[in-house]
Amino acid sequence: MTDLSHFVRNGKKIIGVAANYKSLIKILQRPIPQVPDFFLKPTSSYITQKQPIIIPKGFSVNEEIELGVIIGQNGKHITEDQAMEYIGGYCVALDMTATCRMKEARSKGGSWTLGKGFDTACPVSEFIPKSKISDPHNVQLWCTVNGDPRQDGNTNDLIFSIPKLIAFTSQYITLERNDLIITGSPPGMGPVHPGDQIEGGIRDLITIKYCVAN
């Protein structure tokens, strides 16, 4: 059996969820979505701590702190009632987003691939065993840039719960062991630049530190 602690090496998919916090939707003055809005990041966007975030030339990039859900067993047509059984563990992830590319994609109805999937666009923490998070819907996420507070939000503010995300996704895409679902980011995300130091994590559990390459 694959060791889930090596999900970065062995995972086949990174599935992201856009605008999944009620407080963010309120700030954006958008209607509450009726179904999750998913996108994919390639696994080549993974990096682990001590590797730098590299901003592609000409890109403007924001940090977005998120709770990551690591799938523990293959599943298709998973029900919400079954969904928690398919979770193998968790991580903290940064959904690095090229806002310049996203703005262009939204205005022209284009692909999110460059905006979300460039190399180093998915920095993650080490694997967090499922037993370490008793309630994934009460996790306090935080993020600072150069020591200045950026994000501080709780997963109790999610629009679509983790079981809903797993159930909805699995109706269309088979979830496989070591796949990662990043569940959305609370408000406060902002731009980062070469030389910046990003720190974040889950209160009282785990901290990640990443630098943006010069």
What pLDDT is stored for residue 1 in this prediction?
Answer: 39
What pLDDT is stored for residue 101 in this prediction?
Answer: 81
**Residue ranges of domains in the chain, CATH in brackets:** 6-212 (3.90.850.10)
Alpha helices in the chain (DSSP H): 7-10, 22-28, 80-83, 99-108, 113-117, 162-170
Integer Cα distance of 130 and 211 in angstroms: 28
Residue 20 tokens read as: 């999944």
Integer Cα distance of 59 and 193 in angstroms: 10
What pLDDT is stored for residue 44 in this prediction?
Answer: 98
What pLDDT is stored for residue 2 in this prediction?
Answer: 55
pLDDT by position in tens, the chain (length 214): 359 999 999 999 999 999 999 999 999 999 999 999 999 999 999 999 999 999 999 999 999 999 999 999 999 999 999 999 999 999 999 999 999 988 787 888 888 999 999 999 999 999 999 999 999 999 999 999 999 999 999 999 999 999 999 999 999 999 999 999 999 999 999 999 999 999 999 999 999 999 999 8
The angle at the Cα of 120, spanning 117 to 123, to the nearest 5 degrees, equals 105
Residue 48 tokens read as: 């682990």
What pLDDT is stored for residue 214 in this prediction?
Answer: 83
What pLDDT is stored for residue 31 in this prediction?
Answer: 95
Under 8 Å between Cβ of 117 and 40 = yes
What pLDDT is stored for residue 108 in this prediction?
Answer: 82
Give 29's contacts (C-beta < 8 A, 6+ positions apart).
none
